[in-house]
């Protein structure tokens, strides 16, 4: 797959096949990810890859707490009008998908995230110290590399609110701050959850050209 094709073709996957991902494929993904941009070459990322029973235990513990505390669907309160418009449109699209799956929006997006979308592999990226700016570069590169190798991913935000459980279940050192959780596996091509891809604004809406004809 060409680089630009991988960038344009990547999307969030929320339904995975119950198929193990070979370790050598994950190694290829992470080997590409380590070449992500890193300020002053800090490489402030630490990666925990989990599958099997531990993965399911983590999903069960996270979803159990989510059911207890009922966190709401993230919104865009206080954001600029254009952002609020895009978030509202996305929520409406997600609601339609959830209904087609026989779920509520909360079950599909919130509980689904805490359940790690039943992915066979979960990648947790943490960093030592206070500065974790390199993590987003690492994860973005990882998502593209995974897509290039035929895998699907979903970068999950909700599980970060229960980082204490992630530390506990996966035995990640307390001095490392968990910055990203990514569900990874082979996409289910027949699931309606994967038929959608969020749109992007055209260049004319956000690019300024200076000194060009």
For all residues of the chain together, what is the average pLDDT?
95
Tokens standing for residue 39: 């300020």
**Within 10 Å of residue 173's Cβ, how many Cβ atoms?**
9
- DSSP string of 1-39, one letter each residue: --HHHHHHH--B---B-S-PPPHHHHHHHHHHHTTS--G
Band the pLDDT of 79: cuts 50, 70, 90. Answer: confident
DSSP conformational letter for 79:
S
Give the start-to-end residue ranges of the domains of the chain: 3-70+79-197
- pTM of the predicted protein model: 0.95
Instruction: Please determine, for residue 152, whether its predicted confidence score (pLDDT) is greater than 80.
Output: yes
- Please compute the mean of the pLDDT values over residues 104-133 and round it to a whole number: 94
Tell me which residue of 184, 174, 179, 162 sits closest to 61, measured CA to CA. 162
What pLDDT does 4 receive?
95
Fold that domain 3-70+79-197 belongs to in CATH: NADH Oxidase (3.40.109)
């Amino acid at each position: 797959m060409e680089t630009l094709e991988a960038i344009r073709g990547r999307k969030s996957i929320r339904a995975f096949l119950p198929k193990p991902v070979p370790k050598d494929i994950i190694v290829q993904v992470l080997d590409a990810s380590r070449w992500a941009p890193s300020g002053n070459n800090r490489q402030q990322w630490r990666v925990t890859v989990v599958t099997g029973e531990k993965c399911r235990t983590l999903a069960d513990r996270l979803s159990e707490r989510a059911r207890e505390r009922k966190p709401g669907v993230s919104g865009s309160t206080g954001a600029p009008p254009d952002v609020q418009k895009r978030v509202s449109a996305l929520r409406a699209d997600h609601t339609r998908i959830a209904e087609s799956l026989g779920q509520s929006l909360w079950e599909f997006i919130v509980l689904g995230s805490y359940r790690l979308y039943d992915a066979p592999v979960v990648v947790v990226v943490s960093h030592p110290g206070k500065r974790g700016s390199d993590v987003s570069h690492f994860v973005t590169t990882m998502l593209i590399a995974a897509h290039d190798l035929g895998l699907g991913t979903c970068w999950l935000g909700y599980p970060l609110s229960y980082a204490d459980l992630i530390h506990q279940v996966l035995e990640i050192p307390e001095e490392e701050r968990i910055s990203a959780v990514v569900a990874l596996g082979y996409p289910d091509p027949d699931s309606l959850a994967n038929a959608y891809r969020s749109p992007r604004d055209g260049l004319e809406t956000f690019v300024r050209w200076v000194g060009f004809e």
